[in-house]
Chains A and B, each alone.
Chain A
Amino acid sequence: MSDYKTTVGIEVHAELKTKTKIFSNSINGYGTTANSNVNVIDLGYPGTLPTLNEEVVNQAIKAALVLNCEINKNMHFDRKNYFYPDNPKNYQITQARTPIGVNGYVEIDLGDRKKKIRIHDIHIEEDTCKSIHHNNHSLLDFNRAGVPLVEIVTEADMNSSEEAVLYLEKLRELLLYADISDCKIEEGSMRCDCNVSISKTEKLGTKTEVKNIGSISNVGVAIEKEVARQKELLEKGETFHEETRRFDDKTNQTILMRVKETGNDYRYFPEPDIPFVRLTDEMIERVKKTIPMLAEERRTNYLNRGISLLNANKIIQNRNLSDYLNKFLDTDINLVIASNLLLGDIQFYLNKHNTTIDKTKLTDDKFIDIVKKLDEGKINNKVFKDIIDDIMEKDTTVDEIISEKGIKIISDPNAILEVIRDILAKNEASVKDYKAGNTRASKFLMGQIMKETKGSLSPEIVNKLLIEELDK
């Protein structure tokens, strides 16, 4: 049995982060009381007309830029006509003929090589309202009606579930870091539809579309299940129609929603209520300048400063920590220590207290001070663990906190030597053992020193000085 080649194309709908909706001045907000962010325009009330939110256009330009698209400088909107209860006007305003961006790509890292997933187009459209089915009734929440979306359509360039997952992770990272969308799949602000087909020849097989997938990792599962299902059918010699399926995360199966009718007819035509929008080079330049440092550049910067790839990726997964760390990119503090602190004790503290770094009393100066003290061995990790609560909660300086806690910081090498000599004098037997070649004796001496100083000294420095002293 020769192998089938898997082909996947993905459509992602991402809700744009804006203050107001795309065609009205209702608030664009998630999680508010049903039908509270609604006006006559969102309801598709007779006589209403759309206005165009400039913020939406700017966000979409930004998205087109980070996806390396060519920008359609003379774009318009189109009406997509279809009847559905969640579609207030029974047409959706979208872009069919002049999508804001075309011919872009997203580069994914396959480990041994990089691959460009081509973006066919990215277009702007309005979200529908949300239907809630309750006791044999359908309820409609118009809060979502008119929320701005971009739809990002790839070419059928992915050949495995892994590639699809890598693409989506990368796309999410791009949209998140450019502040375009908050990309919360669970809240529906990022939605993925996958077109999957398999074939033994160059000619693509019959595709099915899988919708309603609740997480990026489930996209991988859904594609694998769909490939297996199609393979089984084809091996049995059966054919199947183009159809829309949904992914059920309880059974991990794709389930038939509807067979696609031939020639789905949306009767597209140019939206007459919105004139052509002309995007100038100046507008595009202006938007370009608002793009913050993206994940890829952050990763490179972190690696250059000695942070491991693992830790760099961990930091990047947490936008707040990454933004925080970036504040110190221009300083010469040890970013390895800084990143370890952020991923370790600081993140632990933040999780435990369910807060974010900007809400704590950890000022930039305090952070720099701590990293330096650790770097220079003036304090060690144990001391930091002892004082982190105060660091995060008090306005006082690191030095003040340390002295309040009664922690004696011995940073003068001579003072440390004094302690060492004192301990050596008290433990002559161990010193003899060491000199006799029992190197383990130094560990015992080390423990005694740390005990004496309540662990406030940097073990590395103490160890270095101790060995020097013993070897004299």
Chain B
Amino acid sequence: MTKYLDLSIQQINELLKKKEIKPIDLVNECFERIENSDSNSFITLNKEEAIKRAHELENKEVDNLLFGLPIAVKDNIVTKNLRTTCASKILENFIPIYDAEVVRKINEKNMIIIGKTNMDEFAMGSTSQTSYFGVPLNPWNKTRVPGGSSGGSASCVSNRLAFLSLGSDTGGSIRQPSSYCGIVGMKPTYGRVSRYGLIAFASSLDQIGPMTRNVYENALLLNAISGHDDKDLTSSYREVEDYTRMIGEDVKGMKIAIPNYLVSDIVSSEVKNKLMEIVELLREAGVTVDFIDIEYLDKAVTLYQIIAMGEASSNLARFDGIRYGYSVENPQSADELYMKTRQEGFGKEVKRRIMVGSYLLSGENAKIYYDKALRIRDDMRKAFKDAFKKYDLIIGPVSTTVAYSLGEGLDDPLKTFMDDVLVIPVNMAGFPGMSVPMGFNKEHMPIGLHIIGDDFEEALMYKLAAFIEKKLNLNLDPRGGK
């Protein structure tokens, strides 16, 4: 059995350039592994098309480091002629007629989409257990959740079924599964990556980002998907930089803050202890690490629920059985068409959030809750901004615990939100945030370090992440059998 998926992207690139391997070899290996895996990382495979594409690429010049690499795409990013379900029954047979902007960009780089990854239904969840297509498994322990909502994207990269994947992050959905699965995940600055073609959950929070085996490959993929898009009015005009450019630089002299709230009692001691080891390591390397207070962090989850559910209730209104997606047969009226289609098409968690969101926007509530949430959100952003005046970066844990057991938390919607308490403030404030592995607990489950940057400071975040990655030199292959 070949082991290209265990090689670095640079090594693969050399082999491709020297014509020692062809893209089809990579594609074949991916499908071989996927088909022999029980991880349920994918909802739809793109085998036929991927093979065709790989053959087409044989006659093309190997023009960039990502050339010919198989990539997995979260199933809430639309792909022309390739089923896109959002892990929902309501889109079970939905074949989009256009490509998302990020898909156009990865095609432009001559990457090969091998499939659409499993996730929480409409990205609503933190465990991927709300998927209509069954839960994907955590490669480190198959009785554990991979995290969510980008659980399939995390598990397939962790399990070495694909080189790279794309996820989306509305309230931690890239970073938390990356932490649970021991990979690197970046939620870029809001507006860095076009949302055109990302099926909206909460428009003011959603952001697509790269999920990869290591820091360098993550930065490379961010290079490829970033940039202004005229089709997305919230997309930034800021020029794209080379996000790999600071990787390898000395971290000495950097100033880093840890918000006290992120190391309070809400965090398990094993996670907290691991973070303290990192603090030591950084201080030894000449980095200043201070513990500071950032206001409103404790309010973030509540604010998030109001904003995310409010927006979701509106964004998901379009799934009505008229133009696309699941549609109930022989409705007697338009109202019956709406009600039955949505009743049967959406899962429990999605319906719960639509109902709560509708309530929060209803009548006077919009002013009492939504408007107020937007105001406090601005204040929270200012509080972060103040911290960034003194510190280069902010760090903390990604999650309060390691990945928990399948089934846990399903009946307690608040629990999963509380798990996201550390990642949500970043979406609320629009800053970039990433997860990079910082070690394992006693059960050998991975723990992620959370790095938060000021707007468009992704390159600086990669610099710190790469330093930690190199220093720790962890074996992050779950098949490594430690």
Q: Which residues of A contact B (CB under 8 A)?
A: 40, 43-52, 79, 81, 83-85, 88-91, 138, 140, 263, 265, 267-270, 272-275
Closest-by-CB residue of B relative to A44 is B318
Pick the contact of B366: A52, A91, A267 (CB < 8 A): A267
Is B1's CB within 8 Å of the partner chain A?
no
Determine the residue in chain B with the shortest Cβ distance to A52.
B233
- Verify if B414 is at the interface (C-beta below 8 Å from A): no
| Interface pair A47/B199, CB less than 8 Å apart | yes
CB atoms of A45 and B98 under 8 A apart: yes
Q: Are B358 and A274 in contact (CB under 8 A)?
A: no
Q: Is B361 a contact of A44 with CB atoms below 8 Å?
A: no
Q: How far is the CB of A296 from chain B (nearest CB, A)?
A: 38
Across-interface contacts of B196 in A (CB, < 8 A)? 47-49
How far, in whole Å, are A9 and B322 apart by their CA atoms in the complex? 36
Instruction: Kindly state whether residue B441 has any CB partner on chain A within 8 Å.
Output: no
**In the complex, A52 Cα to B84 Cα: how many Å?**
27
Least CB distance from A370 to B in Å reads 53
Which 6 pairs across A and B sit closest by C-beta, in order of nearness? A90-B317, A267-B361, A272-B204, A272-B203, A47-B197, A47-B78
B323→A88 contact, CB < 8 A: yes
Pair B317/A89 contact, Cβ less than 8 Å? yes
Interface of A is mostly: loop
Question: A272–B361 contact, CB under 8 A?
Answer: no
Q: List 7 A-B contacts (CB under 8 A).
A: A46-B91, A51-B233, A79-B314, A81-B317, A265-B363, A273-B233, A275-B234
List B contacts of A90 (CB < 8 A): 317-318, 320
Across the interface, do A49 and B232 meet the contact criterion of CB distance under 8 Å? Answer: yes
Q: How many A-B residue pairs have CB under 8 A?
A: 99
Asked whether A40 and B97 contact (CB < 8 A) given A45-B324, A89-B318, the answer is yes
Q: Which residue of A lies closest to B361 (CB)?
A: A267
Given contacts A40-B97, A265-B363, A272-B202, 7 further A-B contacts (CB under 8 A): A46-B200, A47-B98, A49-B196, A81-B314, A81-B317, A85-B322, A269-B361
Please report the C-alpha to C-alpha distance between residue A268 and residue B371 in the assembled complex, in whole angstroms: 11
Residues in A with CB closer than 8 Å to B374 are 270
With a cutoff of 8 Å between Cβ atoms, the chain A residues found around residue B7 in the complex are none
Given contacts A81-B314, A81-B361, contact A49 B195 (CB under 8 A): yes
Tell yes or no: B391 within 8 A of A by CB.
no
Min distance, Cβ B168 to any Cβ of chain A, angstroms: 11
A267 to B319, CA, bound (A): 18
Query: Nearest A residue to B335 by beta-carbon distance?
Result: A83
Closest A-chain residue to B100, C-beta based?
A: A47
Q: Which residues of B contact A274 (CB under 8 A)?
A: 233
* B311 interfacial contact with A, CB 8 Å: yes
B residues near A263, Cβ cutoff 8 Å: 363
A263 CA / B358 CA spacing, docked (Å):
15
Q: How far is the CB of B113 from chain A (nearest CB, A)?
A: 16
Task: Find chain A residues with CB under 8 A from B78 CB.
Answer: 46-47
Q: Is the CB of B358 within 8 A of A267?
A: yes
Complex: A140 Cα to B197 Cα, angstroms: 24
A88→B322 CA distance, assembly (Å): 9
Closest to A84 in B: B334
Q: Measured between C-beta atoms, what is the minimum distance from B368 to chain A in Å?
A: 12
Q: Is B314's CB under 8 angstroms from A44's CB?
A: no
> Taking CB as reference atom, which chain A residue is nearest B203?
A272
Least Cβ–Cβ distance between A347 and chain B, in angstroms: 47
Q: Which residues of B contact A52 (CB under 8 A)?
A: 233
Complex alpha-carbon distance, A270 and B311, angstroms? 10
Note all chain A residues with C-beta closer than 8 A to B77: 47
Partner of A269 from B91, B200, B310, B323 at Cβ < 8 Å: B310
A359 to B202, CA, bound (A): 54
The reply to whether B98 and A85 form a contact with Cβ atoms under 8 Å apart is: no
Residues of B within 8 A of A50 (CB): 233
